[in-house]
Structure 1
Amino acid sequence: MKIDNIAFPHPVLGHQNSIIGNVTLGPEEGRPVIETREDSYEITVQMNHDNPEIHRLIAEGKAEYYCEIKCSDTLLRKVVVSKDNLISVSLSRAEVKRKVEFLCLCITTEIIEDYRNALFHEDYIDFHFTLEKGDILAYFGKFSFDAAIQYQKLKAAASFMEIVPQEDKNEEYVDYVLSGPKILIKLPIKDHELFSRDIIRTRKEFTPIIHGSIVQNALTVALFNFKTYLEQETLWAKTIEYRLLNEKELNDGSILIDPDNIVIIVQKLLGNPTRRLLEGLEDIINIKPD
């Protein structure tokens, strides 16, 4: 058995069926909760399993739940342990930068001799093991978040997209730049000047029209290149990755995008922008002059 290239001399629940049973991370629909506050990130992790022997060891104080937090950009390493499977972690914004990683386990708190488990895989059923303090009993998995992502604004297009002017005053067409933290929609200078007028930029009745045209086109182009820029860990791609993983209605909880489904996924990400565009036009038509 290996977890991150480390071999274990005993069966571990949650890895390669060496112990029969289920492990999940919660508490919301199989995923931890990440709450962004003004000065901190509040993370709630629930480690669930159905193994009676491990439950007994925890109840007797011989095992505990373990959550390790690492941020390589700030050299943060923190460990939180608990006898409760629900763990809350508070990280100040100053502690983390970019990727923050979590490892969730159940570990022993003392030496356990003659460790047996009725749900060992048949390959191990006749074996007894001596476990040292800190040995892994259950592996619940890993997850991470990017401290640069504005999780409280994920559904706002501005969280991953920005409209800017072209540098070349002679350029007549829209261009898209995907290599930066945000998707850049580069409008010809005259078009950007028109877009930037307060009557267009700040009036909420124009928002669905912008989403159904400029933004929808840009996001479609971006998703056709999503895999490439996710591998490069660009922030806009990681923002969309988080939504795809955590909003199952978008793509069944998967980041593997079928090109034939991109148009539909774009519309789901933007909340049916074409319908909102048409309804927005209807609202403008029905606006009565003062």
Structure 2
Amino acid sequence: MKFNVDAAQFRNKYSFTAEFYINNKCLLKYIHMKKFCYALHIECAVTRYRNLFKSFSRKMLFNILSDKLDGKVEVCPMIISAEHVNSYRNEMFNPDYGDITFIIKKGDILAVDRNIVFSADKKIDPLRKISSIFTIGLNRSPNAPPIDIDAMGNRVVVLMNKENFERYRILKLDQNMHSTLACVTAFPALISLLETLKSNIQEDEARIGDYEGLRWFRVISNKLNELGVNVHDGDLLNESSLKIAQELIGNQLTGSLKNLEGYITDF
């Protein structure tokens, strides 16, 4: 079995075109009977995205949202069983098997080809979608502060005490509140991150290297480079964290004030 795959990047998605080539008549027969099918397992370690795409056609077309893929992406082609088969035998088996048949369970792998690895380099600004590097979590500590952040993982966790977290869960259901919620969660968290980076640069520039393996740092660093600010050269020290945060995350304040103004007007 052999296959080819192409991935085209658009504004908010990757479009995949995969084509399988098989010269095994027995496998083809079972695929035509819809007992076996073509499959592609796609996995991205950075985002932890994984999915199995299946088709009875040797040509597969499918899309994956851009924010699901970042960095190394592994594509694994295979043929799998679409249903249970009691007595499976293939003419291309080694003669040593004789007339032996096998029980095939649904999901069993019948054939594979080499894996293909490619790099999903984002051309769109992932910070425009706040959920790209920020997530909201509950701080279960008995004396938890109203808001705090944990930046030790690939995504920055904005932690809230139970009271604020419950309010947030209710408010986020209203689409009109998203800008306001960004102002009170992601925006201060981003300013805090920038101030932390500045502090580390002032103490010892080499400490910045501690963050380089984290996705949120790479995202922010790449965007800062586009703005002409090189984190490793100490350029950040000459910039206002408030100003930089607005350029990174967009003008959430105006949208927030307009939405609040609308609520007052409606009232």
TM-score, normalised on structure 2?
Answer: 0.48
TM-score (norm 1): 0.45
